[in-house]
């Protein structure tokens, strides 16, 4: 018999990038008394890994729990970037409602629409939190209308349209239901969660059923499955069976060796958990997302949506440049393979395949950001390797016609830059679908564009709009192949010989374009040291010293002035490299190089 469990609420926080999800979770934790009065707490405490902290983005969904009025509220903080959309889709299976956070100035953005659609498809009730009401340019009344328009556009039900609105400043630590009153704390937010998010339901007498929605990984205990107890009770030392809705033939006997629940930022050991609890289970070595843990007597798999397929791929390979193996700790194909396979433990949207060469692996993901985060993590762990340019994954339809991944790109730019953006995106096969005004006097342009048209565009976009443009993209299925695209209008400046770069050689080279290196850098033949102003590659000798003779007057040479080099970040390097180039990645350097280092062989290959 189904019953409700009133002392628990399970809720996910969903939103577009930068609308304040993680900061909101911080405040809810602080004001629920999770931390001691004098405890030092980092800002955005849920963004636990270094990359999340540096970039100010959430990459992995995180679980936490707080207690308010004797009710345990399990909160899941989710990522906002489209590249990590796979995380959001799965998490929603664990919760009974969502808090949709919307910026009080920006209003609903592309990713708001994506995450909201997922929540509405699962029939989840929504609490709308209009955040950042303390911004000077905030317009909460306008944003209410925009959210209601979005709900209508997504065919929300009557109950979903009747959602409560909470106005908050996560940074200021307050929320209110009425804009005319002066808010003091987050209590209105807690009360709204208890009132509008339904309690979980299930049959405590039935057999155990726990659907694994996310996987955590720990060096000491291996894989940890996280999921919600849908029916029955799960106990330590219980015998159970793993089944999977997508693979009816799969069954595996397992034993529950360790069981945890969440409390604040910690996992606490429990002996048993019943319906509605979100639990973490360790000790099952090959547990995966989408598995259901059941009682052996009645193994019934819980249906689970398939994880979205990757759209973009790169080759990760052993570094074979002349400087290989000098800076990294892990350099062999065995090391790289092991590390990529370990990433599959926690990242479900990633695919790793072997290629014809034992030293090269094809890695596919949801977007450039998805793969660059993996590259940056590996680099910090001491890996040295090379990667190729990102390429999209094509499909064929039933008639054999080529299909490619398409994206919707939403561009907000000041009016004077709109023409440049339209022109650039048109050459990359983008089609302008809509044009209107956005907040703050900006123009909003909506494009349908092939995913490969956006590869390497973000840096150029920032330059074209003088840093004032905002570009948001969202995956829009597969469409017919749109024809060839020229990625880069300019060629590379290539080092001609191995050695150390010298001011005299660089001074002559800088006339030809933009340099990426300064004096005193180690270079080798075939290494890319800059960008040519024209569309051809040029080989230059940057190790050239000045010939000294006794006929020169002492004062005839003025000091040579070098323009500071343009130092590229990892993302800029990945955007810059062309199809015949590789990016060499070591813990201390990023070097762009030609795939074929020998100039004669390179010319021959180009001719062919």
- Reported as a single tens digit per residue, the pLDDT across 114-146 is 778 878 888 888 888 888 888 888 888 888 888
Report if residue 98 sits inside a domain. Answer: yes
Q: Tell me: the pLDDT tens digits for 227-275? A: 888 888 888 888 888 888 777 788 888 888 888 888 776 778 888 888 8
Residue 328 domain flag: no
Please choose, from the candidates 295, 323, 306, the residue with its C-alpha nearest in 3D space to the C-alpha of residue 526: 323
The pTM is what?
0.76
Average pLDDT, the chain: 81
Residues 42, 80, single domain; the answer is: yes
End position of a domain, from candidates 201, 229, 253: 201
Q: Is residue 76 part of a domain?
A: yes
Same domain assignment for residues 9 and 154: yes
153 and 210 assigned to the same domain: no
- 248 and 284 within one domain: yes
148 and 262, same domain (yes or no): no
Domain that holds residue 239: 203-294
Whether residue 38 is contained in a domain is answered as yes
- Give one DSSP letter per residue of 78-147, joined into a string: ---SGGGHHHHHHHGGG-SEEEEEEETTT-S-HHHHHHHHHHHHTT--EEEEEE-TTSTT--HHHHHHHH
Q: CATH no. for residue 260?
A: 2.40.30.10
- Considering the domain architecture, whether residues 10 and 79 belong to the same structural domain is answered as yes
What are the tens digits of pLDDT across the range 576-591? 888 889 999 999 999 9
Q: Tell me, what's the pLDDT at 440?
A: 67
Rg (C-alpha) for the chain, rounded Å, is: 27
Query: Checking DSSP bridges between strand 174-176 and strand 522-523, what pairing results, if any?
Result: unpaired
Where does a domain end: 161, 186, 201?
201
The answer on 167 and 69 residing in a single domain is yes
Give the pLDDT confidence of 297-351 residue by residue, as tens digits.
Answer: 878 888 877 667 788 899 999 999 999 888 889 899 999 999 998 888 777 778 9
> Which one has a higher pLDDT value, 96 or 27?
96
- State the pLDDT at residue 87: 60
Structure tokens at 376: 């940056």
Domain CATH for 455: 3.30.70.240
Contact 486, 454 (CB under 8 A): no
Question: Any alpha helices (H) in 177-318, and if so which ranges?
Answer: 187-196
Residue 377: inside a domain: no
3-state SS string for 420-465: HHHHHHHHCCCEEEEEEECHHHEEEEEEEEEHHHHCCCHHHHHHHC
- Last-in-domain residue among 171, 201, 231: 201
pLDDT at 148 over 90: no
Count of structural domains, the chain: 4
The answer to whether 529 and 509 are in contact (CB under 8 A) is yes
In the structure, what pLDDT confidence band is assigned to residue 593 with cuts at 50, 70 and 90? very high
For residue 42, pLDDT beyond 60: no
Quote the pLDDT of residue 303: 80
CB count in 10 Å sphere of residue 58: 26
Pairing of strands 97-103, 126-131: parallel
327 within some domain: no
Q: How confident is the model at residue 386 (pLDDT cuts 50, 70, 90)?
A: very high
DSSP for residue 308: P
User: Do 465 and 523 belong to one domain?
Assistant: no
**Structural domain contains residue 344:** no
Percentage of residues of the chain with pLDDT beyond 70: 88
Share of the chain above pLDDT 90, in %: 10
Co-location of 23 and 72 in the same domain: yes
CB 382 within 8 A of CB 375: no
| Backbone torsion region of residue 354, taken as left when φ is above 0, otherwise alpha when ψ lies between -120 and 50, otherwise beta | beta
CATH classification at residue 70: 3.40.50.300
Q: 279 and 157 share a domain?
A: no
Identify the CATH number of the domain in which residue 505 sits: 2.40.50.250
Q: What is the pLDDT of residue 36?
A: 42
Are 472 and 599 found together in one domain? Answer: no
> Does one domain contain both 427 and 463?
yes
Nearest 5°: CA angle at 450, between 444 and 451? 95
Q: Which two tokens stand for residue 405?
A: 């991944």
Query: pLDDT value at position 315?
Result: 93
Please indicate, yes or no, if residue 435 is contained in any of the structural domains: yes
């Amino acid at each position: 018999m189904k019953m409700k469990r009133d002392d628990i609420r399970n809720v996910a926080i969903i939103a577009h990038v930068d609308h304040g999800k993680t900061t909101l979770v911080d405040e809810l934790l602080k004001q629920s008394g999770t931390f001691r009065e004098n405890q030092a707490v980092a800002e955005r405490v849920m963004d636990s890994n270094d990359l999340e902290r540096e970039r100010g983005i959430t990459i992995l969904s995180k679980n936490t729990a707080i207690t308010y009025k004797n009710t345990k509220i399990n909160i899941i903080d989710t990522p906002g970037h489209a590249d990590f959309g796979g995380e959001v889709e799965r998490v929603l299976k664990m919760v009974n409602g969502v808090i949709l956070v919307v910026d009080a100035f920006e209003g609903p953005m592309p990713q708001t629409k994506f995450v909201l659609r997922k929540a509405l498809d699962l029939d989840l009730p929504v609490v709308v939190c209009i955040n950042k009401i303390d911004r000077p340019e905030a317009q909460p009344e306008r944003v209410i209308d925009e959210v209601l328009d979005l709900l209508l556009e997504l065919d929300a039900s009557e109950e979903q349209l009747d959602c409560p609105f909470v106005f908050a400043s996560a940074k200021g630590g307050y929320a209110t239901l009425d804009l005319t009153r002066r808010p003091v704390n987050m209590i209105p937010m807690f009360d709204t969660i208890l009132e509008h998010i339904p309690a979980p339901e299930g049959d405590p007498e039935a057999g155990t059923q726990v659907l694994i929605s996310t996987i955590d990984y720990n060096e000491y205990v291996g894989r940890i499955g996280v999921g919600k107890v849908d029916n029955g009770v799960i106990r330590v030392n219980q015998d159970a069976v793993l089944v999977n809705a997508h693979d009816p033939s799969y069954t595996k006997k397992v034993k529950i060796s360790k069981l945890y629940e969440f409390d604040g930022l910690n996992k606490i050991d429990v002996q048993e958990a019943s319906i509605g609890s979100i639990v973490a289970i360790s000790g099952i070595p090959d547990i995966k997302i989408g598995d259901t843990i059941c009682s052996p007597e009645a193994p019934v798999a819980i249906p689970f949506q398939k994880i979205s397929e990757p759209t973009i791929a790169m080759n990760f390979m052993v570094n074979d440049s002349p400087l290989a193996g000098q800076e990294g700790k892990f350099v062999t194909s065995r090391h790289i393979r092991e590390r990529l396979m370990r990433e599959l433990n926690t990242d479900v949207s990633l695919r790793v395949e072997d290629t014809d060469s034992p030293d090269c692996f094809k890695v596919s993901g949801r977007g450039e950001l998805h793969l660059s985060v993996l590259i940056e993590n590996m680099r910090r762990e001491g890996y040295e390797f090379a990667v190729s340019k990102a390429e999209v994954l094509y499909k064929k339809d039933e008639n054999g016609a080529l299909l490619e991944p398409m994206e919707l790109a939403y561009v907000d730019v000041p009016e004077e830059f709109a023409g440049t953006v339209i022109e650039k995106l048109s050459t990359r096969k983008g089609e302008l679908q809509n044009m209107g005004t956005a907040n703050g006097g900006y123009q909003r342009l909506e494009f349908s564009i092939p995913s490969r048209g956006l590869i390497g565009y973000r840096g150029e976009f920032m330059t074209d709009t003088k840093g004032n443009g905002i570009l948001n993209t969202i995956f829009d299925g597969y469409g017919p192949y749109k024809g060839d695209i020229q990625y880069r209008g300019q060629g590379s400046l290539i080092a001609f010989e191995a050695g150390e770069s010298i001011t005299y050689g660089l001074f002559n080279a800088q006339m030809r374009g933009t340099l990426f290196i300064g004096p005193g850098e180690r270079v080798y033949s075939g290494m890319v040291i800059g960008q040519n102003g024209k569309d051809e590659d040029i080989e230059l000798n940057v190790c050239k010293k000045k010939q000294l003779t006794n006929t020169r007057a002492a004062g005839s040479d003025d000091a040579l002035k070098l323009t500071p080099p343009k130092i590229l970040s990892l993302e800029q390097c990945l955007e810059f490299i062309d199809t015949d180039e590789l990016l060499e990645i070591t813990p201390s350097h990023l070097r762009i190089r030609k795939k074929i280092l020998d100039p004669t062989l390179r010319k021959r290959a180009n001719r062919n």
